[in-house]
Amino acid sequence: MRETRSKGNFTGGFIIYGYKVENHKVVIDQDKAEMVKFIYEQYAMGVYVKDIIKALTAKGIFNRGKPFARNTVYNILKNEKYSGIYRHNEEVFDNIYPQIVDTDTFNKVRAKIDINHYGKRSTEVVYLLRNKMKCGYCGSPVSAECGTAKNGEKKRYYKCLGRKNGNGCKKSQARKDVLENYVLENVITQLQSNMDYIVNTLLEMQDDYIKANSALTRLVKEQRQTENAIQNIMSAIECGGTSNTAMKRLRELETLSEELEKQIRIEKAQSAFKLSRQEISDFYKLALEQSPQMLINYLIKEIRLFDDKMVIIYNTPKTMSLDESQGFSFIRKTYRTRFTFKT
Ligand SMILES: [Zn+2]
């Protein structure tokens, strides 16, 4: 791998949007690269991601047959490879990915993303929270409304829609910005402190998956039986009992044994391809830092708001439905993520 990289060759795995592989080299996929440039330029000019997606869809530009997902666009905007830089561990390679986005534009976009993610809360996070919030008293959705404070200042409030529609609910309104920040901080803290549970569940799932799908046990058993049968025929031959049928059977068994040997090697290699506790935990920590909205969307089922408390209901990694359109799912994508983990 190291040599492959130092030669400037592609080391395998998934090739990101805008590139393709030719003769072991990463080359620019011209049409898609134009779209990457477009995404960067628009974002750098201050166009919202949702509007960039609208513009792409209007142009008839899709990603694997579907309109671009927000996460996909963000992943494109955050990927340094587009600026020609590929980092692996501590090393930097500038000879693998041809530059699609000039360094100035890339840096400008990176700075903007950092502000959106770490400074003000990203509007997408807030949006996700809003969809998951319900009135704790009557179960109605809560929605934001504009109101005017005593000093004439405009303020946004969350109100129970049930109360608004006269169902008799007494839930009082709450300041939008205060509530959203409070909810968000709590969710992030909860996710951090529940990380062990999440990782344990995923490890269990992984073990079950490997157990249920592993053909290894069956193959090893079959191999043992084949070896026994070969031994029996060999003993018979040693005792002078050679027949054409026995020789033919011996050759068949030997071929079978070789084939089983090969399959066992493949199965062993596959079950060795297992994520460790550390890898899973690192992945979620990184995801929580860099894309909290993704984790919130997947792990939070519902937030029930009361006047004096809130109840956050989490999906367990086992029961939640996997939605591929969001560009993320627990088990399979976690496996795939192996390839791009440290990049
Ligand atoms: Zn209510």
Nearest to 209 by CA among 335, 299, 340: 335
The pLDDT value given to residue 53: 93
State pLDDT tens for residues 268-294: 766 655 677 787 777 777 777 776 666
Confidence class for position 341, pLDDT limits 50, 70, 90: very low
Cα 160 to Cα 183: distance, rounded to the nearest angstrom: 16
Dihedral angle of Cα 92, 94, 96, 102, to the nearest 10 degrees: 130
CA of 151 to the centre of ligand 1 (A): 28
- CA–centroid distance, 138 to ligand 1, in Å, is 4
> What value does the mean pLDDT of the chain take?
78
**By three-state DSSP, how is residue 304 classified?**
strand
Q: Please state whether 182 falls in left (phi above 0), alpha (psi between -120 and 50) or beta.
A: alpha
Mapped onto helix, strand or coil, the DSSP state of residue 273 is coil
- In this structure, how many other beta carbons lie within 10 angstroms of the beta carbon of residue 29? 19
- As to burial, measured by CB atoms within 10 angstroms (0-12 exposed, 13-18 middle, 19+ buried), residue 105 is middle
Distance of CA 83 from the midpoint of ligand 1 (Å) = 50
Question: Measured between alpha carbons, how far is 180 from 192 in angstroms, rounded to an integer?
Answer: 18
Q: Kindly report the CATH class assigned to 2-116.
A: alpha beta
Give the CA-trace dihedral at 128, 132, 135, 138, to 10 degrees.
150
- 123 C-alpha vs ligand 1 centroid, how far in Å? 25
pLDDT-derived band at 339 (thresholds 50, 70, 90) equals very low
Output the DSSP codes for 6-31. HTT---SSPPPTTEEEETTEEEE-HH
Tokens of 17: 């949007």
Higher per-residue confidence, 27 vs 339: 27
Q: What residues have a C-beta under 5 A from ligand 1, the ion?
A: 135, 137-138, 140, 160, 162, 169, 171
- The residue type found at 5 is R
Q: What φ, ψ does residue 22 adopt, rounded to 5°?
A: -135, 125
Q: How many CA atoms lie within 13 A of 171 on its CB side?
A: 30
How far is the centre of ligand 1, averaged over its atoms, from the C-alpha of 142 (Å)? Answer: 8
CA of 270 to the centre of ligand 1 (A): 52
The Å distance, Cα 170 to ligand 1 centre, comes to 6
